[in-house]
Chain A
Amino acid sequence: MPTPKIELSGVSQEFEKPDGTVFHALDNLTIRVDAGRFASLIGPSGCGKSTIFNIIAGLQQPSRGGVIINGRDATGMVGGVGYMLQKDLLFPWRTVLDNIVLGLEVRGVSNQEARAYALPFLHKYGLGGFEHAYPSALSGGMRQRAALLRTLLYDSEVILLDEPFGALDAQTRSRMQEWLLQIWQDFGKTVIFVTHDVEEAVYLSDEIYVMAARPGRVIAHLPVPIERPRPREITLGRTFMRLKEDCLNLLNSFEQHAEAA
């Protein structure tokens, strides 16, 4: 078995609540994603998806367990992955182009060089003509494109996407999904994608980690045996439907279980 690109082994996260009891946010979580794969995490709200990302990105120290990226321990280390949140977090005082080159700038590339490097990508991925616009002039979909390009141009091999399309309307969302698949194929990055939209997870991913809440844990790891490229029609196919149903059943059964407990 080849070494995975990114590996979370036995990650637990506990917080002490104000009343002194311990809250288990994540319990013994293990996730492995191979290079160039697209993996999704789905689960109910409060299952700690964002905590996982903060731990992978090194913004948070797990109580136990560790993160291994490229075979090296990256627990609590920042800068190893590209991280994009639902909020696009574009800098309002920078133009789109200057926002996109942020990652390169942080890595010490001169502004001029970074811009020259980024401009073709901007044109290729549907932001042409907007390079000198400020984010406030952009639509929600455009802003997410800019935020994603910024994450990609940071040029880390692993990209974390935390519900990037959560705030978009259904039509924009499906267009963005196709756009994301195209860009993912072009760049060949390893992607971990968080969503609570099961259909989105199945359509985009190579593999799906289904999670349950309280404590946050992985309850199933499902491969998605659908070939790429994936035209929209596959969402009506039998494999797609069955997988989607499996995911929903898993989520539901654990939800009920949690409520009964």
Chain B
Amino acid sequence: MGIREKFAERFPVADVRPVATPTIPGPAGAPTGKPIASPIRLRRLPVERQWPAWFIVAFQATILLVGIGAWETGAKLGWIDPFFWSRPSAIFATMLTFFTAGDAMTDIGFTFRAAIIGFVLGTSAGTALGLSFWWSRNYAMLAQPYIVCFESIPKLALAPLIILVFGVGLSSKIAIGVALTVVVSTLTTFSGVKSVDRDLERLMYSLGASRWQVFCKVVVPSVLPWGISVLRVNIGLALTGAIVGEFIASQHGLGRAILYAGQTYEIALVWVAVLVLSMLSIAMYLGVSRLETVLMRHIKR
């Protein structure tokens, strides 16, 4: 039985005819019969069946376990050189000693503090600078090339200089974090300022509002979502700044731990520090996401 017969059986009323092929009409309007396109084909809408959530989680866990297992076996069988790559069991053992014996909390605390302070300072300074451009178009035009230039500098290239100026302590790590975050915030906030609805400003002026009132009641609330969108980017940048600072010169911090372990061929310790750093990064990212949701709720659109 052909497809047409089957279809007719299931839907007896439906009159299934072959779809007409489009043709070019001749000069007198009569179709020449010459097709301009291949015949229309009916396709099913591509739809992917969704897996249940538990299956996805289980799948993910399996991939992780298989990966770790392969690493461990590979190291045991000599496919992977454990001198360079270490192995999961050694990393786990080192993790335990790292948290029990060493001054792990000092290092974590140091890196965490540097990242958070750099993040807060850089983001708030950048936001304030970006908002300030609303006050004067001339001033904004004047400042723009400098901002763009500063943005184009690879800020990490300045890190050695920053260490020289601010010393090997916490302040130099914060300064690198600020250098990385401040421009992002400034540029994003400035974009926000440029997109403020002119009509809302005009409405406020027509009500006799002062510039300060327009700034507080229109500009700041309008720009806020832009400022918030930059938070997640900045927390990552601030952490990068802190680690690079610690790489160059430091007495504490996870970045220093990584560098030190690498130089003494304690590869397991490198992995431990990297893992802890990832955890820290995830924790800060989640914290900022939470902050974002709370702030966004207040300026509900």
Residues of A within 8 A of B (CB): 57-59, 78-83, 85, 87, 89, 91-93, 102-103, 105-107, 134, 136, 154
Neighbouring B residues of A105 by C-beta, 8 Å: 217
Neighbouring A residues of B204 by C-beta, 8 Å: 102, 106
Which of B199, B205, B213, B300 contacts A78 (CB under 8 A)? Answer: B205
Q: Which of B208-267 contact A (CB under 8 A)?
A: 208-209, 213, 217-218, 221
Are the C-beta atoms of A106 and B208 separated by less than 8 Å?
yes
Are the C-beta atoms of B203 and A85 separated by less than 8 Å?
yes
Taking A89-B203, A154-B207 as known contacts, 11 extra A-B pairs with beta carbons closer than 8 A to each other, sorted by chain A number, are A57-B206, A79-B207, A79-B208, A85-B199, A91-B217, A102-B204, A103-B207, A106-B207, A106-B208, A106-B213, A134-B300
B238 CB to closest chain A CB (Å) equals 28
Which of A59, A81, A82, A89 contacts B200 (CB under 8 A)? Answer: A89
A215 CB to closest chain B CB (Å) equals 24
Question: Is B76 in the interface zone, CB < 8 Å from A?
Answer: no
Interface string of B181-206 (1 = CB under 8 A from A): 00000000000000001011011111
Question: Is B41 in the interface zone, CB < 8 Å from A?
Answer: no
CB-CB under 8 A for A91 and B207, given A106-B213, A134-B300, A136-B301: no
Neighbouring A residues of B294 by C-beta, 8 Å: none
Question: Is B299 in the interface zone, CB < 8 Å from A?
Answer: yes
For A77, give the chain B residue with the smallest CB separation: B208
For A89, give the chain B residue with the smallest CB separation: B203
Are the C-beta atoms of B207 and A93 separated by less than 8 Å?
no
CB-CB under 8 A for A78 and B203, given A93-B299, A136-B301: no
Are the C-beta atoms of A58 and B206 separated by less than 8 Å?
yes
A55 CB to closest chain B CB (Å) equals 12
Neighbouring B residues of A59 by C-beta, 8 Å: 202, 205-206
Are the C-beta atoms of B200 and A78 separated by less than 8 Å?
no
Neighbouring B residues of A107 by C-beta, 8 Å: 208
For B299, give the chain A residue with the smallest CB separation: A93
Q: Which of B200, B203, B205 has the most CB of A within 10 A?
A: B203
For the complex, what is the distance from the CA of A79 to the CA of B202, rounded to whole Å?
11
Secondary structure call for the B interface: helix
Are the C-beta atoms of A92 and B209 separated by less than 8 Å?
no
For the complex, what is the distance from the CA of A257 to the CA of B213, rounded to whole Å?
47
For the complex, what is the distance from the CA of A235 to the CA of B301, rounded to whole Å?
41
Neighbouring A residues of B205 by C-beta, 8 Å: 59, 78
Are the C-beta atoms of A83 and B206 separated by less than 8 Å?
yes
Are the C-beta atoms of A93 and B208 separated by less than 8 Å?
no
Neighbouring A residues of B199 by C-beta, 8 Å: 85, 87, 89
Are the C-beta atoms of B301 and A78 separated by less than 8 Å?
no
Neighbouring B residues of A78 by C-beta, 8 Å: 205-206, 208
For the complex, what is the distance from the CA of A173 to the CA of B234, rounded to whole Å?
49
Which of A89, A106, A134 contacts B209 (CB under 8 A)? Answer: A106
B204 CB to closest chain A CB (Å) equals 7
A158 CB to closest chain B CB (Å) equals 12
Neighbouring B residues of A93 by C-beta, 8 Å: 221, 298-301
Subset of 8 A-B contacts with CB under 8 Å = A78-B205, A78-B206, A82-B206, A83-B203, A87-B199, A93-B221, A106-B204, A106-B217
Are the C-beta atoms of B207 and A92 separated by less than 8 Å?
no
Q: Which of B265-289 contact A (CB under 8 A)?
A: none
Neighbouring A residues of B221 by C-beta, 8 Å: 91, 93
For the complex, what is the distance from the CA of A80 to the CA of B206, rounded to whole Å?
8
Are the C-beta atoms of B206 and A81 separated by less than 8 Å?
yes
| For the complex of A and B, 9 pairs with smallest distance between CB atoms | A79-B208, A83-B206, A93-B299, A106-B209, A57-B206, A106-B207, A93-B221, A103-B207, A89-B203
Interface string of B64-82 (1 = CB under 8 A from A): 0000000000000000000
Q: Which of B202, B208, B213, B217 has the most CB of A within 10 A?
A: B208
For A104, give the chain B residue with the smallest CB separation: B207
For the complex, what is the distance from the CA of A261 to the CA of B67, rounded to whole Å?
82
Neighbouring B residues of A103 by C-beta, 8 Å: 207
A90 CB to closest chain B CB (Å) equals 9
B89 CB to closest chain A CB (Å) equals 54
